[in-house]
Structure 1
Amino acid sequence: MTASTEPPLQLERAGAIATLRFNRPGALNAIDVPMATALLAAVRAIASDDGVRCVVLRGAGKGFMAGGDLATLRADPVQGAKDLLTPLNEAVALLAQLNAPVVAQVHGVAAGAGLSLMLQADFVLAAEGTRFNLAYINLGTSCDVGASWALPRLVGLRRALEIAMLGDTYTAQDAERLGLVNRVVPAAELDAAVQQLAQRLASGPTQAYGHMRRLMRASFDHDLPTQLAAEGEAFVACARSADLPEGIEAFHAKRPAVFQGR
């Protein structure tokens, strides 16, 4: 078999929207070390580019991502896990610190590390017919890529334990009901729905988005006085930006605000 010359991950840019496309369709985009390394490099590039105001995660071919590449783990389970998780964890941590909102466009299957990565997004739109399975327990391992952090926050501890420890498969409708995804749309409409959302986010107040997403994530670890102080600091930082004065002027002029994201 001839090895693919395609990169394992594609970073595409359309205006202020950066799309990260997992690109191992023959393996249902199972993430191997080259893809994990490429993901980290792409996220670093996005983090250094103030022009990016929305990030979209999606998969090529028939699915979003089927999980980690088992061949990597089969050859050497311990070293393979370390080689995969080191760049993956750094990429996830960096994604969480971006000002740009992150949207996951999910179809086909999101399993294992694919589901874990999906959970890190701020918004998830899924095609009808998508299947979801955290899957780790079926291989005899615990979860990774931030699933144990994100899942209880999204669905509650008891439901998170059920999803993680039973290893069941969920439909797109199940995922919407549980709060794993924001919206389920017909497969033929998924591209348009994601682009509409991404364009809306990319034209918003990007610095305010960044403060908002970090405040929400930190709130579970803070008491109320600490969170109030963090909110105050974030609000003052937004007040120093160009977007708050524009928002105020637009409100008084009864027109849509034109935010610059800075």
Structure 2
Amino acid sequence: MSSILFEIRDQVAFITLNRPEKMNAFTREMALLLQSRLDECASLHEVRAVCLTGAGRAFSAGQDLSEVVDPEGPGMEKILSERYNPIITRIRNLPKPVVASVNGVAAGAGANIALCCDIVVAARSASFIQAFSKIGLIPDSGGTWWLPRLVGWQKAAGIALLGDKIAAENAEKMGMIYAVYSDQDFPEASRALAATLAQMPTRALALTKHALNYSATNTLEAQLLLEDELQQQAAQTKDYAEGVDAFLNKRAPRFKGE
């Protein structure tokens, strides 16, 4: 059985981390396969949104530590540069929205892969743990970048230093994630969210994502110039023409991602 399951339905690519017996902890093979699937999502026109989730009771427990302690293993630098950093940059640069559908515990790098996605939703029983300090490490996979921007400095410092388990409902209240659904409703609700995004103007969403990527480091003046540039690109799309026509004629738009 593959460590990454991949299926396209209704223009949504469903990517499932699939090592449930290990709480979907990442191995090298699994990390590289996820990168490959993300590249596939970027290149396939029929994919207009991505939904990333985990099999079983966890989203992902992060790195499989058996590889880290292996004396013949790759070492921490290669683990980050070869596996996790490329996953983060692929998700952020993917010109389509990515939903993290957090079905259970998301710990370590697993938590930060979820948090780097465009929209994060979780089952009520799910939780997020910056588990790094428990074993003498620092949050990686962008954790020290995402947390202060999502929840503020004090909350980020407490979460990172103490390594507390953050219940999904608390994560939503502090702005770490977008929404929480009951465990019963969660599978369908997260699929419906991804399906909704897949029917929206894909290129406009990609340009919005691009603008958000730069908003954390740009000055206001630079961001206004970037918005001007990206808005001109959006205004040249077929979906923009369709959206305006649908609005003027009081009908539902039929976007094609073009």
Give the TM-score normalised by structure 1: 0.94
The CA distance in 2 between the partners of 1:252 and 1:72, in whole Å, is: 58
The CA distance in 2 between the partners of 1:119 and 1:145, in whole Å, is: 10
Matched, 1:50 2:41: no
Q: Is the 8 A contact 1:58 1:64 kept in 2?
A: yes
Partner of 1:126: 122
Structure 2 unaligned runs (5+)? none
Q: Is the 8 A contact 1:40 1:88 kept in 2?
A: no
Partner of 2:132: 136
Matched, 1:173 2:169: yes
Superposed counterparts of 1:58-137, under 5 Å: 58-76=53-71, 79-85=74-80, 86-137=82-133
Partner of 1:40: 35
The CA distance in 2 between the partners of 1:216 and 1:225, in whole Å, is: 15
Give the Å deviation of 1:77.
Answer: 9.0
The CA distance in 2 between the partners of 1:219 and 1:128, in whole Å, is: 30
The CA distance in 2 between the partners of 1:124 and 1:164, in whole Å, is: 19
Q: Is the 8 A contact 1:66 1:110 kept in 2?
A: yes
SS in 1 for 2:156: helix
Superposed counterparts of 1:192-231, under 5 Å: 192-231=188-227
The CA distance in 2 between the partners of 1:227 and 1:24, in whole Å, is: 41
**Range that drifts further, 39-48 or 18-27:** 39-48
Partner of 1:186: 182
Partner of 1:163: 159
Partner of 1:246: 242
Matched, 1:14 2:9: yes
The CA distance in 2 between the partners of 1:91 and 1:172, in whole Å, is: 23
The CA distance in 2 between the partners of 1:84 and 1:24, in whole Å, is: 18
Residue 138 of structure 2 aligns with an amino acid whose one-letter code is S
The structure 1 residue matched to 2:26, chosen from 18, 27, 31, is 31
Q: Which portions of structure 1, spanning 4 or more consecutive aligned residues, are displaced by more than 3 angstroms?
A: none
Residue 213 of structure 1 aligns with an amino acid whose one-letter code is K
The CA distance in 2 between the partners of 1:257 and 1:81, in whole Å, is: 49
Give the Å deviation of 1:78.
Answer: 7.5
The CA distance in 2 between the partners of 1:122 and 1:103, in whole Å, is: 6
SS in 1 for 2:74: helix
Give the Å deviation of 1:83.
Answer: 3.9
Q: Is the 8 A contact 2:102 2:122 kept in 1?
A: yes
The CA distance in 1 between the partners of 2:209 and 2:24, in whole Å, is: 27
Give the TM-score normalised by structure 2: 0.96
